[in-house]
């Protein structure tokens, strides 16, 4: 019995050790990278459900890929190839069937920032890329105003979605880390870093710009705006290092054209996709407008801008919102949403109903694509009915109601001053 007790104590200490967790995340990144490269290539096959509305599924694009060999780390090859396309003055947003599947949908700046990895062998570059994603998440989570034990539980809660992101060589871990880190830097009066992280997030995926709304909660707004302008101008012009101005303008025009074409097709694992699959409602434009309005409404409660719970719930709601109202949301993007769910849960007092709700998220969002569900259930229930998004919609509704009904509170120091 004594030996068992010692083992349990040792195991608990290990599980909550931040160094062990970082090692687990980095190990997952390295293992996944090796696995993806070792899987080699496969002959192109036409995509099937659940994403039939993707722009790449148009016949004029699909026909270009018959007989082509594709890898399991396709997204990384898109990122890597973008640097050379930028360097050689090629259209970043064109189709390159001899190199990879799908379009590049990021900024010219992001293409330039891939330079350090672009010259490396695929395995080395992919490892660095995936490790960068996991470190961004680990470091950002540990910056949150929670105990080290809560940091550990949160990292364990999101680990499956982190692995999903790694398995697709995606940038969503980096996006999640940048948005959370920006909030934490603002909390510590480090506007210069917060604006840099938000600007970087924006130049990776445009929805990162939504994080700039956080400046409303903090003093010295002029300094924040000036830093934001500075970093955005720097990042906007950074590709001029390798490409002339007229070509860069052309690249940005091509980017805008592609994004507009892409937005006109897909619904993704989102509110729009849920409405379509459950009720046959096709109202993506309306959903986007209503979603934006609902996101902005809580900001009218300016008397709560100094309330710490209100601020961190706004962060949590934002992380969930950018995914569930994103027409391109897919499984690998949910590392952002589930991080928001975890922040919401740990920012609030414990309650049975909140625990029940986060367990719904864990089972039906985090585990929806795993072998926890039989193949038949996934094929005929989980995927067709976009089950992954449903628990996150519920959590976001709870956050919205909480933001709209919260009463102004004060910190202990403020209460002491007010009582005198």
Residue 115 lies in a domain: no
Instruction: Look at the chain and report how many structural domains it folds into.
Output: 1
Residue 294 lies in a domain: yes
Confidence (pTM):
0.93
Q: What is the pLDDT of residue 266?
A: 67
Residue 134 lies in a domain: no
Residue 366 lies in a domain: yes
Residue 381 lies in a domain: yes
Residue 232 lies in a domain: no
Residue 160 lies in a domain: no
Tokens of 113: 């920032």
Residue 394 lies in a domain: yes
pLDDT-derived band at 352, boundaries 50, 70, 90: very high
What's the mean pLDDT in 310-315? 97
Q: Which domain holds residue 305?
A: 266-412
What is the C-alpha separation between 19 and 14, in angstroms, rounded? 9
pLDDT-derived band at 36, boundaries 50, 70, 90: very high
Q: What is the pLDDT of residue 186?
A: 96
pLDDT, tens digit, for every residue of 236-262? 999 999 999 999 999 999 999 988 877
40 torsion bin: left (phi>0), alpha (psi -120 to 50), beta (else): left
| Cβ(28)–Cβ(127) below 8 Å | no
Q: What is the pLDDT of residue 191?
A: 95
pLDDT, tens digit, for every residue of 42-86? 887 766 544 445 667 777 777 778 888 888 899 999 999 999 999
Q: CA angle, corner 207, sides to 54 and 233, nearest 5?
A: 125
pLDDT, tens digit, for every residue of 260-294? 877 666 678 999 999 999 998 888 889 989 999 99
What's the mean pLDDT in 148-170? 96
392 or 18, which is more confident: 392
pLDDT-derived band at 338, boundaries 50, 70, 90: very high
Of 10-24, 205-219, 262-276, minimum mean pLDDT range? 262-276
pLDDT, tens digit, for every residue of 326-335? 988 899 999 9
């Amino acid at each position: 019995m004594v030996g068992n007790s010692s083992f349990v104590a040792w195991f608990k200490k290990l599980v909550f050790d931040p160094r062990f967790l970082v090692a687990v995340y980095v190990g997952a990144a390295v293992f996944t990278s090796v696995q993806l490269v070792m899987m080699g290539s496969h002959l192109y096959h036409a995509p099937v459900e659940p994403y039939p509305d993707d722009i790449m599924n148009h016949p004029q694009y699909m026909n270009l890929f018959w007989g082509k060999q594709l890898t399991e780390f396709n997204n990384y090859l898109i990122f890597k190839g973008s640097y050379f396309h930028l360097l050689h003055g090629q259209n970043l947003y064109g189709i390159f069937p001899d190199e990879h599947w799908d379009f590049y949908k990021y900024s010219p700046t992001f293409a330039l920032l891939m330079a350090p990895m672009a010259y490396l062998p695929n395995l080395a570059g992919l490892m660095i890329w995936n490790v960068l994603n996991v470190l961004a998440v680990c470091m950002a989570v540990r910056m949150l105003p929670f105990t080290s034990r809560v940091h550990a539980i949160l990292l364990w809660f999101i680990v499956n979605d982190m692995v999903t992101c790694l398995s697709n060589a995606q940038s969503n871990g980096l996006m999640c880390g940048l948005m959370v880190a920006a909030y934490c830097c603002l909390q510590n009066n480090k506007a210069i870093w917060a604006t840099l992280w938000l600007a970087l997030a924006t130049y990776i995926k445009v929805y990162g710009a939504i994080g700039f709304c956080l400046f409303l909660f903090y003093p010295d707004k002029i300094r924040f705006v000036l830093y934001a302008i500075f970093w955005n101008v720097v990042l906007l012009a950074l590709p001029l290092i390798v490409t002339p101005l007229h070509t860069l303008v052309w690249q940005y025009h091509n980017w805008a054209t592609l994004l507009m074409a892409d937005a006109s097709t897909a619904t993704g694992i989102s509110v729009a996709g849920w409405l379509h699959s459950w009720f046959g409602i096709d109202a993506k434009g309306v959903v986007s407008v209503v979603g934006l309005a609902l996101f902005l409404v809580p900001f009218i409660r300016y008397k709560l801008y100094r309330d710490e719970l209100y601020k961190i719930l706004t962060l949590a709601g934002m992380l969930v919102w950018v995914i569930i109202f994103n027409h391109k949301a897919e499984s690998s993007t949910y590392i952002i949403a589930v991080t928001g769910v975890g922040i919401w849960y740990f920012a609030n007092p414990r309650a049975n109903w909140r625990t029940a709700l986060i367990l719904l998220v864990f089972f039906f969002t985090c585990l929806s694509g795993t072998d926890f569900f039989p193949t038949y259930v996934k094929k005929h229930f989980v995927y067709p009915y976009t089950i992954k998004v449903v628990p996150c919609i519920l959590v976001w509704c709870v956050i919205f109601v909480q933001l709209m009904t919260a009463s102004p509170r004060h910190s202990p120091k403020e209460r002491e001053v007010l009582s005198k």
